[in-house]
Structure 1
Amino acid sequence: MNRLFTLALATTALLGSMAPLAQAQAQDWPERPVQLVVVAGAGGGSDYTFRLLAAELEAALGQPFPVVNLAQASGIVGYTTYTSSPPDGYTLGQLSPIAQFTLLGQANFQPESFTAIAQFNADPSAIHVSADSEYQDLGTLIAAIKADPSAFNISCGGTCNASWDIPFVSMLLGEGVDVSKINLIPAQGSAAALQELASGGIDIVLCSIPETTALKEAGVVKTLAVMSEDRVAIDDAIPTVKEAIGTSYVGGTWRGVAGPAGMDPALVSKIEAAVADAVQQDRFVKGMEDRGFGIAYLGHDDFTAFLGEHFAQTEQVLNALAGK
């Protein structure tokens, strides 16, 4: 009994000594470069926005924040790399729509696999048709899809079951459409999907508004609605879904900073505060606005809750698409 009591006292003392050590580590962070893993290739939206963020973090914290692009296997390699790293704040990474990988059996990520630190960007999905489409408003289009779900070729503008089509399918579900019968067609990126739309091979493209600018200016594409709470600054003539049909449906892609599970709360708070400060800097704001990217900040608690909601919504949509 005395031996057990002594062991318990020693364990309590060890745990007590670790708390000040963790606090000191958080206070001193960063003492060396911090790697930011981006789960997409160089030159795209994720790369651009994270490099903007990295520049502000470097300026504020005095250490390099090198961006490492690990896009292999649709980003699974990047996610695996940083979630498998020590939870010391020196390997962080991009957290974006991810639930589809687990639900489709491609990986085994769960909300608990991550420490969701802070979201800094969100870009709403939008619904695009050809300029000469017979469906010139969202209500008419939804009614036609509901009447004959299989009659439309709908491009996700990339690999399906992710950023752009999950909110759209969720909207169709809410409007009573049998989504198990719709045709979702993957494309090699939004640009390829929009060219198919222009040539008549695709009826609907789901992607962000900035990606359609050139074809819209050429009179080839029309955007029926944007899936956001408010109209977007890049083209405030486009109505929101709520304005178009009377019910709000919101969604799209989003980007945030995360780390592996098990990070010390004091360290998380410090990184969260650094990101919150970075997204308010004039250089960051201008850089985002120049390319049409939306700034949408969520702190640790809200981002963690949102991640759980993302998994739940994605599961609901994928089950509906499979007719479950």
Structure 2
Amino acid sequence: MKISRRVALSAPFLLPSVARAQPAFPQRPVRMIVPYTPGGVSDITARLMSEPLAALWGQPVPVENRAGADGVIGTDAIAKAAPDGHTLGLVSVAHPVNAAFYRLPFDSIRDFTFITQTSSTPLVLCAPPSFAPNTPEELVEYARAHPGVTFAGTGGVVRLAPVLFAQRTNTRLEYVPYRGSSQAHPDLIAGRVNIMFDTVPAALGHIRSGALKAIATTGGRRSAQLPEVPTLGEALLPGFEASTWGMVIAPAGLPAPVLAKLHADCVAAMANAVVVDRHRTLGADIVTSEPDALRSFVQAELTKWGEAARAAGVELQNAR
């Protein structure tokens, strides 16, 4: 049977390739939700990425800060957005860590599409110059001889990294809570608290001035900002890693072609020279990843920090 051109054009089911055609992406501005206050690494990364992405897409990429409940409020907004690629999120290590502290209104894996990691920033194990240990090995020996070495913590991974360290070294450390690094540093410098696992950018000025000393860093490789300081992995604990990091996510159910484009374009944006240089000044390494590998990485982080939180006796709270 012969099919006329008019019939063929009016019957999409006869033309699978036409029926499967996807509209061009993006069709309108793509908002980037950052679930934290302005000025942090996640916010800076999102704003740096927005310019090269806007140039690639021919659409604005506005950054929207939706802070609250340690990032839970903004992350929930990402999870509940339409899965069409026009809402993205730039989240940090707080994403898996929050699952160890809060009853969440979303599932940290199932409710999201993982696009790419963006950066990684190690912590630095630091102490006042008056504190006797100078190496990770000496710290372990000292902690075993003096149970109850104190560590300053500000929540999240800064609180849990020392717990992980204590688990791996069979030592006992005592948590001293602070609201932020700026509140903890005076007591740390004065020796009223013994050690702190802080972010490199937060502690770097005090280390360079001599007010604090760096015992080790916690990344997979040495920090470019502190190249003379060994990692805990190379000095004492192979495989130990406790870093802050960022990633781009979207709601679950993103169409495969949109995910492929978002991944390729976000990776390209992170390779932009301005983006790379700015992250270097922040002490952060550019790290990108494939979506499936990123999903597995986040699952591993959920397990690691969940176990550390249980060891620390953390009880789940309602996010507010």
Task: Give the equivalent residue in structure 2 for 1:230.
Answer: 221
Q: Are the aligned partners of 2:218 and 2:231 in contact in 1 as well (CA < 8 Å)? A: yes
Find out whether 1:64 has 2:55 as its counterpart: no
* TM-score (norm: length of structure 2): 0.87
CA distance change for structure 1 residues 127 and 32 in 2, over 3 Å: closer, same or farther?
same
Of residues 159, 184, 190, the one that matches 1:193 is 184
Q: Are the aligned partners of 1:36 and 1:92 in contact in 2 as well (CA < 8 Å)? A: yes
* TM-score (norm: length of structure 1): 0.86
Find out whether 1:297 has 2:288 as its counterpart: yes
Give the Cα–Cα distance (whole angstroms) in 1 for the partners of residues 98 and 255 of structure 2: 27
CA distance change for structure 1 residues 74 and 262 in 2, over 3 Å: closer, same or farther?
same
Find out whether 1:209 has 2:200 as its counterpart: yes
Unaligned runs of 5+ in 1: 1-13
Give the Cα–Cα distance (whole angstroms) in 2 for the partners of residues 187 and 15 of structure 1: 63
Of residues 38, 42, 45, the one that matches 2:41 is 45
Q: Which moved more, 1:280-289 or 1:218-227?
A: 280-289
Give the Cα–Cα distance (whole angstroms) in 2 for the partners of residues 64 and 218 of structure 1: 42
Give the Cα–Cα distance (whole angstroms) in 1 for the partners of residues 157 and 80 of structure 2: 24
Letter in 2 for 1:73: A
The residue correspondences of 1:156-305 to structure 2 (distance < 5 A) are: 156=153, 158-159=154-155, 162-177=156-171, 182-245=173-236, 247-305=238-296
Letter in 2 for 1:101: N
C-alpha distance after superposition, 1:65-97 (max 9, x if no partner): 111111111111100111110101111112322
CA distance change for structure 1 residues 238 and 36 in 2, over 3 Å: closer, same or farther?
same
- Count of residue pairs the alignment pairs up: 303
Q: Are the aligned partners of 1:23 and 1:266 in contact in 2 as well (CA < 8 Å)? A: no
CA distance change for structure 1 residues 81 and 177 in 2, over 3 Å: closer, same or farther?
same
1:19 CA drift (Å): 9.6
Give the Cα–Cα distance (whole angstroms) in 1 for the partners of residues 274 and 114 of structure 2: 25
Q: Are the aligned partners of 1:129 and 1:221 in contact in 2 as well (CA < 8 Å)? A: yes
Give the Cα–Cα distance (whole angstroms) in 2 for the partners of residues 16 and 204 of structure 1: 70
1:15 CA drift (Å): 11
Secondary structure of residue in 2 paired with 1:65: coil
RMSD: 2.6
Give the Cα–Cα distance (whole angstroms) in 2 for the partners of residues 305 and 313 of structure 1: 12
Q: Are the aligned partners of 1:96 and 1:255 in contact in 2 as well (CA < 8 Å)? A: yes
Secondary structure of residue in 2 paired with 1:134: coil
Give the Cα–Cα distance (whole angstroms) in 2 for the partners of residues 235 and 261 of structure 1: 38
1:245 CA drift (Å): 1.9
Task: Give the equivalent residue in structure 2 for 1:111.
Answer: 109
1:213 CA drift (Å): 2.1
Looking at secondary structure, tell me which structure has more helix per residue.
Answer: 1
1:103 CA drift (Å): 3.2
Unaligned runs of 5+ in 2: 1-11, 316-320
Q: Are the aligned partners of 1:127 and 1:224 in contact in 2 as well (CA < 8 Å)? A: yes
Give the Cα–Cα distance (whole angstroms) in 1 for the partners of residues 17 and 117 of structure 2: 27
1:22 CA drift (Å): 7.0
Give the Cα–Cα distance (whole angstroms) in 2 for the partners of residues 45 and 323 of structure 1: 26
Q: Are the aligned partners of 1:95 and 1:116 in contact in 2 as well (CA < 8 Å)? A: no
Q: Are the aligned partners of 1:22 and 1:264 in contact in 2 as well (CA < 8 Å)? A: no
Give the Cα–Cα distance (whole angstroms) in 2 for the partners of residues 114 and 16 of structure 1: 35
